[in-house]
Structure 1
């Protein structure tokens, strides 16, 4: 909940203004990982039905290619772009795609007329290079063809520039448009121009526990959670701020400052797009939907010696003075992620509220002004709501959406999006949850979860601090049965024995590194064999002379 309107420290005046002029959702949920969320956002389908059950980076080989685990949108699945294009809309996309692995399943195949897309999960924000050893490069594509980034690239600025360019090139076209702008902010590597970072350098020096508590208090003041709702502890195993050496505190405090600066920079460039729409006379008939694909990222690869070696080989540093600038690798880590997710439990990769509950703002044409919606809502609800707002019926030939239109709630004609007896499930790489009315059944696996099922009353306990599984056994069993039905209906696969996402990422990364450098490794091996052979030959000759 990093936006200013939701109590974050970063200045986000563009987003805050749109929130004030529209509807803010306080109980909206996505998936714990980026690609499944994007698949659900664009299709209105559960991630398994859409074909993107998880992200390829953590996919075990036993699941690759199975139905629901294709790592691209399944045959027959339609995006909202394809539906709107069929209804006469121009369609544009810039930014992160992450629904393809081979350069084929790109936006141009799924209803977008123009697109400038990053195929993979992330990349450097200053230049065209990979951000993690799982990838060998940063594959950008324009309209389905490989593309190169300009020398003055900064992700948020460039993505808005290109979107404005696409819109401007069709200014004489009377058709309405649909634009999907998928910023890299605030995915790792966290990077921002220093002028945005500078104003936050003293904001986070009190540490992560202080931030977690202050955001919890602000969430109550802003009525995002009930007054007196308890705040849970951070996940076990996280460090106390006081245990850090002074130099480590400085670099972690600045890392969070860069995070805030990156968010403000994104908001600034989004403001340029809004200004263009105003100048072009389009703002009055434009609907905005602003959201996030998961909770705060806990990634901290720096302790791994092989990652530090990879950083040096790829020109990355972690120097305090230039943190967030070109050539630096910055992240906030699990402690700041837990603080930023406050009062939610856990963060990205997990299905606690800290990993799933994110902002959603709808603003503009057809949306009431200045309203708050506390009703439970999901990422699959955005596509049907958008189609409902613009008056485009769902196509009968396409798979029926799992999400529900939120239009009646937006217009004040209903209090709930989903009936209290309707179960809604989510599963990503073994992390699983089911919502029903005010209750949530949840299982968070290691490294930070315990792998057991828990039951919470989210209306009274949004921080998931009081497990009701033992005190409400009948309700617990009812929701367990609902989850099993959800898993069977959507083709959820069991995870392999001993699976853990971070370990699977490590294994998949090693496999990819071997593939990337197979030729180098072969040459090195042949050289070593040759040297050994020459050495043995020399020894044999020496022995014979003796």
Structure 2
């Protein structure tokens, strides 16, 4: 099939998919039970599968662990590999290409700009879980990272949230109103759709919980239940946390990333999260061996991972204040908590990018051991620690190997048996239909990509998906398809080679044994299913020679020119004038 025919098929499939989107919101609260539960949806940013204590992580997360023991934890749940697509899927129950967030604007190639599914904000007609719950009589609140558009009509107030205090960018500083990368000129926060500013005393996890408590309290005394979406900045770059949360991890990571990867793999097997046949891929080239680092670099990287754990603990601590508030106000017993991550751990090493250290200095950042994680510091974990944190899986955020997709998922509350665990497959698109089903709005889920997990969490069924059903993912060329125990995978450079691989996850969740050559029949069948998925959802092929890291750099430079173009033009004019004056002076001297 030619490229034009493929594009036409994709377009037709996309339009057909959009036409199946629901045309009307759920109506009337009177149609649902008077005992409708509240919902607290907690999204952690860039948390690895094993980062929570209950999943075998090193960080102290007693609040999340307690909620997990009160309800059910999933060992086979997957999100998308990148933040904005995951958030769009989480809040709509639709595939990311059907929402308008096929990828993130920071990596968008110019050829895709403005195409259906690639508008970089929720498209007209896309309905969120907040829209649906609001129409059914719920109070709806959000605090934290939005990243689903920032133009007029693109913020939470236009998508079903009664109250919201949000960051529209992919990230920002956790101590003040400062951007975290050159793609952004400022860190823009909005309350109820209007540009606002942060208080002088600010730490992201604390503030987001404070504001959420304020919003919930505005409805005190109301008979209407609430939906609270709490999208933490933790543990996104820059990794930052108060020293009281980081100091007790001072020695936790001193043995290095290879040691952590091995230890987490052993713990995952011991906890029953993965089968005993699981093996973990070794760190790929050009990742560095821990022993090859200088003593100073080992200290800096160990401290960076300590700050990462401390940031997660700080987030858990402040989540605990919300839990305590709901207990004190009699709302806890009727509240369902859902806690998960948007994707796997962040591998970026920003200081390796040309000019980044200069940009850091201009924005008041330093990367020094003495104050790492505190105000004015800039910490990150980098690819080696990200690979270790993703254990026992392969790769990390951006990629569709299990390290990028498989994340923790905890659900607890009324009607969910305490101490439960499930190995049933679950996906980020299942969260919205599950919430709607638990709210008594199951008739409102039929046109969604995902499906309700209610029967799994109630014990009525061991699974929500049948072995023959195919579930696809694609973000910026990184593509995966799940069908029963098999997984089809394509990871793009630099950490992949762009070729298709096939794995049996029931035996090899570490994706160490490619079966593509041994099972050509399964490979061909799953490739056919993937092509159907791509055509149905409007997936666009990447331009030739696309490189995600190069595209980030190009897009950031373009943004810098937009921000500072006139200043650069003045510098250029004055510089050329100075050169011309110098040349005239030189010639005048020669004539003399």
TM-score by length of 1: 0.98
1:65 paired with 2:114, answer yes
What residue in structure 2 maps to residue 510 of structure 1? 557
Which runs of 5 or more residues in structure 2 are unaligned?
1-49
C-alpha spacing 1:494/1:167, structure 2 compared with 1 (3 Å): same
Aligned counterparts, 1:129-168, within 5 A: 129-168=178-217
Q: Over residues 414-433 of structure 1, what are the superposed CA-to-partner deviations in whole Å (9 max), with x where a residue is unaligned? A: 12211110100000000000
Bigger RCO (CA 8 Å, 6+ sep): 2
- 2:362 pairs with 1:313: yes
Q: Could you say which residue in structure 2 is the equivalent of 1:524? A: 571
Alignment of 1:469 with 2:516, yes or no, is: yes
2:112 match: secondary structure: coil
SS in 1 for 2:371: coil
Shift of 1:274: 0.3
CA–CA separation in structure 1 for the residues paired with 2:345 and 2:588: 65
Alpha-carbon separation, structure 2, partners of 1:267 and 1:540: 70
Q: Is the 8 A contact 1:235 1:346 kept in 2?
A: no
1:56 pairs with one of 86, 105, 126: 105
Q: Which residue does 2:275 correspond to in 1?
A: 226
Whether the 8 Å CA contact 2:415–2:458 is kept in 1: the answer is no
- Note the C-alpha offset of 1:528: 1.4
**Superimposed CA distance per residue, residues 472-520 of structure 1 (whole angstroms, 9 cap, x where no aligned partner):** 1101100000001100000000001111111110111111111111121
Q: Distance in 2 between matches of 1:417 and 1:501?
A: 34
Equivalent residue in structure 2 for 1:373, among 419, 422, 429: 422
C-alpha deviations, 1:443-478, integer Å up to 9, x for none? Answer: 011111111100000011110011111111101100
- Evaluate the alpha carbon distance shift between residue 148 and residue 109 of structure 1 in structure 2; reply closer, same or farther with a 3 A threshold: same
Q: Structure 1 CA distance, aligned partners of 2:489 and 2:174?
A: 35
| TM-score normalized with structure 2 length | 0.90
Structure 1 residue corresponding to 2:73, chosen from 13, 24, 38: 24
> Could you list the runs of 5+ residues in structure 1 that have no partner in the other structure?
none
1:73 alignment partner, SS class:
coil
Indicate the residue corresponding to 2:46 in structure 1: none
Residue 394 of structure 1 deviates from its aligned partner by 4.2
SS in 1 for 2:570: helix
2:450 to 389, 400, 403: 403
| Paired positions, count | 543
Q: Which moved more, 1:363-372 or 1:437-446?
A: 363-372
1:459 is the counterpart of 2:510 = no
Structure 1: 4+ residue segments shifted above 6 A: none
Distance 1:356 1:44 in 2: 17
2:177 aligned with 1:114: no
CA distance, structure 2, for counterparts of residue 166 and residue 93 of structure 1: 9
Conserved? CA contact 1:21–1:370, under 8 Å: yes
The equivalent of 2:258 in structure 1 is 209
SS in 2 for 1:289: strand
Q: Secondary structure at the match of 1:335?
A: helix
> How far is the alpha carbon of 1:304 from its aligned partner?
2.7
How large is the RMSD of aligned CA atoms in angstroms?
Answer: 1.2
Deviation at 1:143, TM superposition (A): 0.3
1:103: Cα distance to partner? 5.5
Residue 412 (1) aligns with residue 465 (2): no
Partner in structure 1 of residue 373 of structure 2: 324
